[in-house]
């Protein structure tokens, strides 16, 4: 599994922890920046970079972080084909994959402690999409995207 990661300054420390965690587990990580926590940068840029790598299949999944996880997820979700879930608990992490086939996960460094954030990541990477009745609903999401694309 190859995972793309990105953050703004507000999510930089959490992104670094996640990269360390995944790398130690032998999972390949591609870091799309930002490269430090002190210089203020704009989260949409990093959400888009990772989202673009996911839709082009350069990476299998994306994990992104900002202060809340919200802004960067909103940016990522503007890229057609992306289903990015902002998650703050383990149950929702599992469901976002099992039922919604989320291909990106977004976390808030200012919301979550390191321990919970890593548990969420662990749960998310180990959960598979269940398909079946959920496929129809994910297809409906894709149809909405199509209807509003020019
Ligand atoms: C940056 O200060 C902060 O606004 C950003 O990290 C994020 O929380 C936005 O949603």
- If DSSP states are collapsed to H, E and C, what string results for 43-108? HHHHHHHHHHHHHCCCCCEEEEEECCCHHHHHHHCCCCCCCEEECCCHHHHHHHHHCCCCCEEEEE
Q: How confident is the model at residue 80, as a pLDDT? A: 97
Is pLDDT at 145 greater than 90 in this prediction?
Answer: yes
Mean pLDDT, residues 101-114:
98
pLDDT of residue 150: 80
Mean pLDDT of the chain: 98
Residue nearest to ligand 1 atom 8, measured at CA:
67
Report whether pLDDT(59) > 90: yes
Ligand 1 centre distance from Cα of residue 131 (Å): 33
User: Averaged over 13-27, what is the pLDDT?
Assistant: 98
Ligand 1 atom closest to the Cα of residue 70 is: 10
The residue nearest atom 7 of ligand 1, judged by CA position, is 67
Average pLDDT over every residue of 124-129? 98
Q: 143: CA distance to ligand 1 center in Å?
A: 30
All structural domains of the chain, each given as residue ranges with its CATH number in brackets, are 2-148 (3.40.1400.10)
Residue 113 annotated as binding? Answer: no
Q: Tell me the pairing of strands 104-108 and 28-31.
A: unpaired
Rounded mean pLDDT, 22-46: 97
Whether 89 shows a pLDDT value over 90: the answer reads: yes
> Is the link from the previous residue into 34 a cis peptide, with omega within 30 of 0?
yes
Predicted structure pTM score: 0.98
Please state, in angstroms and rounded to a whole number, the distance separating the CA atoms of residues 119 and 31: 20
Residue 127 counted as an annotated binding residue: no
Catalytic machinery residues: 66, 99
Distance 50 CA to ligand 1 centre (A): 17
Instruction: Write out the two tokens for 108.
Output: 């808030």
Mean pLDDT to the nearest integer, 28-47? 97
Using the predicted structure, report yes or no on whether residue 75 has a pLDDT greater than 90: yes
DSSP class of residue 107 equals E
């Amino acid at each position: 599994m190859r995972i793309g990661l990105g953050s703004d300054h507000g999510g930089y420390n959490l992104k670094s922890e996640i990269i360390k965690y995944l790398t130690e587990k032998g999972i390949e990580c591609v870091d799309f920046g930002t490269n430090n926590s002190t210089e203020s940068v704009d989260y949409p840029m990093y959400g888009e970079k990772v989202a673009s790598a996911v839709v082009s299949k350069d990476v299998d999944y994306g994990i992104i972080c900002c202060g809340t996880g919200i802004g960067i997820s909103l940016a990522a979700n503007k890229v057609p084909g992306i289903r990015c879930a902002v998650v703050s608990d383990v149950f929702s992490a599992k469901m976002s994959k099992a039922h919604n086939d989320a291909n990106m996960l977004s976390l808030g460094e200012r919301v979550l402690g390191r321990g919970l954030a890593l548990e969420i990541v662990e749960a998310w990477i180990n959960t598979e999409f269940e398909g079946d009745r959920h496929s129809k609903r994910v297809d409906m999401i894709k149809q909405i995207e199509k209807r509003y694309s020019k």
